[in-house]
Amino acid sequence: MSCDEIERELVGYHFGTLDEETRARVEEHMVGCAACVRAFVEIKRAVETSEDAPAPSPAARAKLRRAVAREIAPRAWWERPLAVALAASVVMLAGATMHALTSTDGSPPYELRADVHR
């Protein structure tokens, strides 16, 4: 495909509306053509940052917010307390291990004994 043909397909490529064969040809061409990659980036930037584009309706915004809230909310009521309990158990186990390792003779911190001469 020529650069002119590719540039006509870049908007469809950006939105993922091209058929598999056309998408593959566009990608294959852009691998070796910096000019078409720059054209794609310019189109992408214009689409994503345009202030002239119509804003989503309040209903669409509300639907998107609900979808995002479902994705970031805990999957079940028990997941958050379980994570806290697991973290607390790890901290307690680390503390007990540290105490066991440092409370025996010869363990750090080393004792200064009176019978040791310099």
Give the relative orientation of helices 3-15 and 34-49 as an angle to the nearest 10 degrees: 40
Mean pLDDT over all residues of the chain?
83
Tell me, what's the pLDDT at 37?
92
HEC string of 37-66 equals HHHHHHHHHHHHHCCCCCCCCHHHHHHHHH
37 shares a domain with 78: no
Q: pLDDT digit string (tens) for 62-98?
A: 998 888 888 777 666 666 788 888 999 999 999 999 8
Residue 44 within a domain: yes
Number of domains composing the chain: 2
Higher per-residue confidence, 108 vs 72: 72
pTM comes to 0.44
Q: Which domain holds residue 82?
A: 73-104
Q: Above pLDDT 70, what percent of the chain? A: 81
Residue 80 within a domain: yes
Tell me, what's the pLDDT at 115?
56
Residue 112 within a domain: no
